[in-house]
Amino acid sequence: VRKLSEFSYDPFSPEAMADPYPAYRVLREEHPFYRLPEYGAWAVSRFADVHEILSDQEGRYTTTEKNVPLGRWELVVGNGGTPPPPQLEPLPMFSFLASPEHEQIRSLAVPPLRPRSAASLEPFVRELVGARLDELLGQGEFDLTRDYGAIVSAGVMCRVWGLPPERAARVRDLINLAGGRPDGEQSMDGAEASAELIGMLAEVVAERRAAGADGELPGVDRLIKAEVDGRPLSDEEVATQVFAIVFGGTETVPKVVAHGLMELWRHPDQLAAVRAGDLAENSRVAFEEMLRFCAPAQWFMRTATADTVVSGQEIARGDRLILLLASANRDEREFEAPERFRWDRPIERHLAFGHGGLFCIGVHVARLEGRILVEEFLRRAPAYEIDLARAERPASSFQLGYAAMPVAVG
């Protein structure tokens, strides 16, 4: 029998970075608010609590310390009980700002990602997916994450943000480096990769500015013309906003799709059921369970701006909240048999895209790409075998997803 005192959780421990799911089970059951004193943080693991914190509309929590996981050493340094004010010069990614600048930049950048704009991308996405499959199916074996989904997602981001289409593979590689957290910290390679991509995007911004930024490339042009905090943004600052979106838009969908297609392969009855009905509709339904079950981001962060209480737990001003979305999406209080993949489970809500003010800005593009990637693959690959032994899910304190998923198609 495991004694309570033997349990410990640290998002940066090798065990948690390789497979945190067993710990999440214990956290949800026994320590829904788990204190991590060395990081001044609470790990929050239940769906209802994460949902409540993300629903806050009174500014009780901020992301001025960042929403993406800080590295262990940044957490150890602490904030002295006071979250920092937003940095306004140079302007960081909009997710790290506060009201009203966060909402201002978000609404300037969002037009190409709105439902109607996303829907208008469908013919382009189908063509891109079709062209990828023409090439890959001929090879017989390929990698579902790297060669299929990631090239499509990066290709869509190139189109939306004005990069030449032939840059898609480089964008994919840079994003993978930038998102890796092999030792719980962003590596030098990761920082260099971010800088290279921001540089690439800044060239587009400079070209648009020189051409008058007349609205042809809506997200970029509106950011160029805007005044934030009483001044226009530099090329690099605009590029940094676009980088945040290109990052979100390239990192996640491919890993969800590759993992999801692996789950279907692992459950042949489910694969047969998806294939049996309306494939387009079934792919849409299955992608939603793939989001719940396979979304790689483990946690996002908030910092309390005031003393508060959540589900009876006192939280002090300055406390960090490690919001374990991947645990919340497996909470048995919210989902029946949550640790089982079931392609057609009824899902009223999940937290794969977050919730509230930072709800994923790319949700419509993500759902569009996801369902088309699943549908077209299943339509054109009558049978497939995953080589699970060669699949790679690199340890990470942030994005724990399948970076490699070899498949053979028949």
Stretch that binds ligand HEM, among 127-135, 139-147, 179-187, 240-248 (CB under 6 A): 240-248
* Between 145 and 409, CB nearer to ligand HEM: 145
Query: Which residues ranging from 287 to 316 are in contact with ligand HEM (CB under 6 A)?
Result: 291, 295, 297, 300
CB of 106 to ligand HEM, least distance (A): 5
- Residue from the set 41, 213, 220, 366 that interacts with ligand HEM by CB under 6 A: 366
CA distance 260 to 279: 15
Q: Is 145 in the site for ligand HEM (CB under 6 A)?
A: no
* Between 256 and 258, CB nearer to ligand HEM: 256
Q: Is 352 in the site for ligand HEM (CB under 6 A)?
A: yes
Half-sphere exposure of 384 (CA within 13 A, CB side): 33
CB of 305 to ligand HEM, least distance (A): 15
User: 239, 207 in Cβ contact below 8 A?
Assistant: no
CB of 382 to ligand HEM, least distance (A): 26
- Residue from the set 45, 67, 329, 396 that interacts with ligand HEM by CB under 6 A: 67
Cα distances (angstroms) measured from residue 22 to each of 42, 339, 395: 18, 10, 15
Stretch that binds ligand HEM, among 12-20, 223-231, 272-280, 358-366 (CB under 6 A): 358-366
Q: Is 399 in the site for ligand HEM (CB under 6 A)?
A: no
* Amino acid in the structure at residue 39: Y
Kindly give, in sequence order, each residue whose CB lies less than 8 Å from that of residue 139, ignoring residues fewer than 6 positions away.
Answer: none
Quick note: the x/- pattern for ligand HEM over 186-215, rule CB under 6 A, is ------------------------------
Query: Which residues ranging from 245 to 274 are in contact with ligand HEM (CB under 6 A)?
Result: 245, 248-249, 252-253, 256
- Residue from the set 91, 121, 261, 361 that interacts with ligand HEM by CB under 6 A: 361
Q: Is 347 in the site for ligand HEM (CB under 6 A)?
A: no
CB of 403 to ligand HEM, least distance (A): 15
Kindly give, in sequence order, each residue whose CB lies less than 8 Å from that of residue 243, ignoring residues fewer than 6 positions away.
Answer: 93, 194, 197, 198, 201
Q: Is 242 in the site for ligand HEM (CB under 6 A)?
A: no
Q: Is 16 in the site for ligand HEM (CB under 6 A)?
A: no
CA distance 71 to 398: 10
User: 206, 239 in Cβ contact below 8 A?
Assistant: no
Point out the residue whose Cβ comes nearest to ligand HEM: 362
Stretch that binds ligand HEM, among 9-17, 200-208, 361-369, 399-407 (CB under 6 A): 361-369
* Between 137 and 167, CB nearer to ligand HEM: 167
Quick note: the x/- pattern for ligand HEM over 98-137, rule CB under 6 A, is --------x------x------------------------
How many residues form the binding site for ligand HEM (CB under 6 A)?
26
User: 181, 399 in Cβ contact below 8 A?
Assistant: yes
Which residues make up the interface to ligand HEM (CB under 6 A)? 67, 94-95, 106, 113, 244-245, 248-249, 252-253, 256, 291, 295, 297, 300, 325, 352-354, 358, 360-362, 365-366
